[in-house]
Structure 1
Amino acid sequence: MGGLKFDKWGYEVNTASDACISAINSFYHQVLSYGRERSAIMEALAHDRNCVLANVFAAHSHDSSDPSSVHVHLQDAKARLKQASKYEKAVFDAVSSLIAENRDDDVALELHSKLLEDFPRDLVSLKRAQILCFYMGRPDLSLNLVQKVLPQNEQENYIYGMLAFSLLETGRMADAEKAAKKGLQINREDSWAQHALCHVLQHECRFKEAVGFMEECSKSWNSLSSFMCTHNWWHVALCYLEGHSPMRKVLDVYDHCIWKELERNHAVPREVYLNALGLLLRVYLRGEIDIIEDRLKILAGCLTNQDLWYLEWHLDVLTVWALASTGEYGKGEDLLKGLRSRISKMSNKKRRVMQGGMLLAEAMYEYGKGNYSRALELLGPDFDANRCKAIGASDEQLDVFNEVWYVAMLNTGRAAEAIKVLESRTEKREGVPFMWRLLERAYSMLGRPEATAAREKAKHLEDTCFK
């Protein structure tokens, strides 16, 4: 027997079960807090297997982990759509567009935008829409969405973390810091707001402040999903690295807070690997190859498992580098071949968007093999990693590929070209010692006297970042 209940947003759900609604609300909390217990949605179905909304969320939750169950849940929802509320139908349409086999991102975003116009308090749908924008490489659209629903959610938990991330991804760092701090006033344990504030502090080279803030916040991270927990620790490690803290601090974070996550049975491995790879590549570029060699070989060995391929472009790009840099050339070629095949099957519009990601993957393979000239040829003379946002990476995650470009230029003797981009980089973000060391190297290669000033600047930052 059907009935009418209201979820935490105050929107109608066709169910007679209070327990079903309670489980749906718990699921909302898990999504917005990046919790580990998103299986709460299955509890909703245990209480009412006919609930359209619960079936839709179950389908979306299993989209990557259990594709066979996706169809079952969607069909169960579709079979009862006539009895569903207007809200449930809108969610069904939006989610169905997201998990369609040949997804059209523009259609999915349009349906989510319409849903949020009609139901602006639904922050879970806002979160889904923002993630979609992230993979489209369109932080501007993400910002528009959150700004449209903000008037109806001005005192709501989690809204300001979402606002802050969109602001920082569009370069509005001061506004992002204000939004993140407002979110933390509402909920000090909002991990996405914590993460956004760390982004800002890190971008502004306030490394010591960022580490102190995040390590204090880490007391609340045990309940977070594998992605959020390891990603927040990745930011901590990156602040240590960019601020020239002792390498043991960076590797302690890798060993005990990122890699160790794999020991938790319910971890999602791909998300751990993404953060692990992103950190080791940064260390590798700083010439610390010997101290990470064993770690990288173990990591690359795990990534020969093709079950971890083609889940995320960002992960694939990093995996190609790891395989090549550890001598797994055959596996690296196989992964590249698969990526090329996937590109060829995309629509013309999607193929154009992802072409930069494909070239980046091929360049990272060549870089891993030590073919720096070929890597540079693939990246091009005007490379900017931010043009590759559609691989599903933030500005901070993408920046490592800019570093690859700088180092490749120096490794191939193109010091004059490197100086031009490195001088521009240090003007915009002058507090990173590694950039000054690269600039020193470039000046020295040409015998230019500016090498002394660059060396002194680097030394000063190295000595004071964490003082």
Structure 2
Amino acid sequence: MEGVKLDKWGYEVKTSSDSCISVINAYYHQVLCYGRDRRVILEAPVHDKDCVLANILAAHFLCSSDPSKAPSYIEAAKSRLEQATSYEKAIFDAVNYLISDNRDDDLAVELHSKLLRDFPRDLLSLKRAQVLCFYMGRPDLSLDLVQQVLPQNQQENYIYGMLAFPLLELGRMADAENAAKKGYVINRQDFWAQHALCHVLQYQSHYKEAVQFMEECSSSWSSCSSFMLTHNWWHVALCYLEGHSPIIKVREVYDHCIWKELEKTDAVCVEVYLNALGLLLRVYVRGELDAFEDRLKILAACLTDEANWFIEWHLDLLILWALSFTGELSKAEDLLKGLKFRLSMMSKKKQQVMQRAMLLAEAMYEYGRGNEKQALEILDPDFDAYKCKIIGASDEQLDVFNEVWYSMLLNTGQVTKAIESIEKQIQKREGAPFLWRLLEKGYKLSGRQEAATIGEKARVLEAAYFN
């Protein structure tokens, strides 16, 4: 057809520009490989200002990086919609609704599901839908979507990493491991498949093996986005921490592999802050923050800049802790008020979903101030961080909020409840030394003779990984 090109998936795009379609394909690659150059999509409308696909993809990119510029690209796409191909119209409908104000998340997923039924080879749309499902806390929907298109993508690059992650979140570790390994065989530089394999090894408490695998892969991470690069190193640091490696190893990863990313001119600072904060909270819960000297204060000073707020709920929760802990109380209060205001502006349906996130935000503010009793009173008596996926966090990222919960219970005298909760978690993560240390503390506080046995179990595990 005249004036039509085929994209990477073999679907028709209304454009006469080879450069435009080349840039669109490059953008596909950048998103799927978590690359640093996702801005490349802004070049596509330069090559063809009338291309609907180029404009709507550029709008989607800008809605998070520079929202004020997105509307002009939406209007440009809308003005040429009648001339677009059926594929482009389907993309426009799904993306335009996704970035609209007060969208209904379930409908946004359904629009993507319909798109993928008609165009199952479009892995960019699958990734976009999976990201949406992640922020909805719905790995089940994410898995349904990838399984829907899997028959048409059996040997496609990146599909198995995308399959592995929702399997992880649903606790199907053996299936997740098989999927991630298959993706890694197809492409050893599939960073999402590498990441999924690390998740499995961490869950199994194979910390030394996880570090060895990830450090062997790390030479290929220079092309990764700030998030993916520092998140993979966050996993490495976490394995050192959980495997009871000397704390200096954790600090070295923080300094040289996470914080150092900020020295790059194209670094996305908030993506670095998320992983830096997530690590420092873990370190604090374990009583090791002194080894990091003034690093948390330096980070908190960056986070007083309100430009870093209201981007992700997960990040906001961590910022609340950091600001309140370091004495930036007025800033912490402003952030908390802002979150409450944003909650009030949501639809009733969305408010109900996000209420649990709001309570956790209030609790983290009080926890940072040292008001552990008040923090516990805010949370549900049977708090479980895994029910808070809607903040946009994986189970591995949510674990620290459970650790905070256990520690607060122990510190406020609710020992029986703490022991019950920790023992339940140990059934899932038997090889995690810190959980045994918490259980030992609980047994000591309750005067149980088994404390010595529990302590010995912790010592054996601590010696098993890196010592």
Interval of TM-score (by shorter of Structure 1 and Structure 2): over 0.9
* Deviation of the 1:2 alpha carbon: 7.0
The answer to whether structure 1 residue 168 and structure 2 residue 168 are counterparts is: yes
| Gap regions ≥5 residues in structure 2 | none
Residue 243 (structure 2) aligns with: 243
Contact 2:102/2:347, CA 8 A, preserved across alignment: no
- Counting matched residue pairs gives 467
1:447 alignment partner AA: G
Residue 141 (structure 1) aligns with: 141
What pairs with 1:378-417 in structure 2 (closer than 5 Å)? 378-417=378-417
Q: Give the Cα separation in 2 of the matches to 1:46 and 1:344.
A: 40
* Deviation of the 1:303 alpha carbon: 0.4
For 1:337, what is the secondary structure of its paired residue? helix
* Deviation of the 1:293 alpha carbon: 4.3
Task: Please list the CA deviations of residues 313-358 of structure 1 after superposition, one character each: whole Å capped at 9, or x if unmatched.
Answer: 0000000000011011111111000101111111111001000000
Contact 1:58/1:73, CA 8 A, preserved across alignment: yes
| Pairwise CA RMSD | 1.1
Residue 254 (structure 1) aligns with: 254
Residue 265 (structure 1) aligns with: 265
* Deviation of the 1:66 alpha carbon: 1.3
For 2:368, what is the secondary structure of its paired residue? helix
The answer to whether structure 1 residue 234 and structure 2 residue 234 are counterparts is: yes
Task: Please list the CA deviations of residues 249-273 of structure 1 after superposition, one character each: whole Å capped at 9, or x if unmatched.
Answer: 1111111111111111111111111
Q: Give the Cα separation in 1 of the matches to 2:255 and 2:175.
A: 34
Q: Give the Cα separation in 2 of the matches to 1:174 and 1:119.
A: 30
| Gap regions ≥5 residues in structure 1 | none
What pairs with 1:56-205 in structure 2 (closer than 5 Å)? 56-205=56-205
Q: Give the Cα separation in 2 of the matches to 1:270 and 1:376.
A: 29
Residue 374 (structure 1) aligns with: 374
Q: Give the Cα separation in 1 of the matches to 2:157 and 2:367.
A: 44
For 1:39, what is the secondary structure of its paired residue? helix
Task: Please list the CA deviations of residues 297-320 of structure 1 after superposition, one character each: whole Å capped at 9, or x if unmatched.
Answer: 011110000011101100000000
Q: Give the Cα separation in 2 of the matches to 1:380 and 1:8.
A: 48
Which consecutive aligned stretches of 4+ in structure 1 deviate over 6 angstroms post-superposition? none
Task: Please list the CA deviations of residues 151-187 of structure 1 after superposition, one character each: whole Å capped at 9, or x if unmatched.
Answer: 0000000000000001111110000000000001100
Q: TM-score, normalised by structure 2?
A: 0.99
Contact 1:363/1:374, CA 8 A, preserved across alignment: yes
Residue 430 (structure 1) aligns with: 430
Task: Please list the CA deviations of residues 387-438 of structure 1 after superposition, one character each: whole Å capped at 9, or x if unmatched.
Answer: 1111100011011000000000111111111111111221221111111111
Q: Give the Cα separation in 1 of the matches to 2:109 and 2:188.
A: 30
Contact 2:63/2:99, CA 8 A, preserved across alignment: yes
Q: Please say which of residues 262-271 and 150-159 is displaced more in the overlay.
A: 262-271
Q: Give the Cα separation in 2 of the matches to 1:380 and 1:63.
A: 35
Contact 1:227/1:272, CA 8 A, preserved across alignment: yes
* Deviation of the 1:46 alpha carbon: 2.2
Residue 218 (structure 1) aligns with: 218
Q: Give the Cα separation in 1 of the matches to 2:389 and 2:428.
A: 20
Contact 1:137/1:392, CA 8 A, preserved across alignment: yes
* Deviation of the 1:98 alpha carbon: 1.1
Q: TM-score, normalised by structure 1?
A: 0.99
Q: Relative to 1, partners in 2 of residues 1:113 and 1:96: Cα closer, same or farther, differing over 3 Å? A: same
2:131 alignment partner AA: I
1:23 alignment partner AA: V
Q: Give the Cα separation in 1 of the matches to 2:428 and 2:132.
A: 29
Task: Please list the CA deviations of residues 89-128 of structure 1 after superposition, one character each: whole Å capped at 9, or x if unmatched.
Answer: 0000111111112222112111101000000000000000
Contact 1:284/1:292, CA 8 A, preserved across alignment: no
2:53 alignment partner AA: L
For 1:5, what is the secondary structure of its paired residue? strand
Q: Give the Cα separation in 1 of the matches to 2:419 and 2:166.
A: 32
For 1:222, what is the secondary structure of its paired residue? helix
Residue 443 (structure 1) aligns with: 443
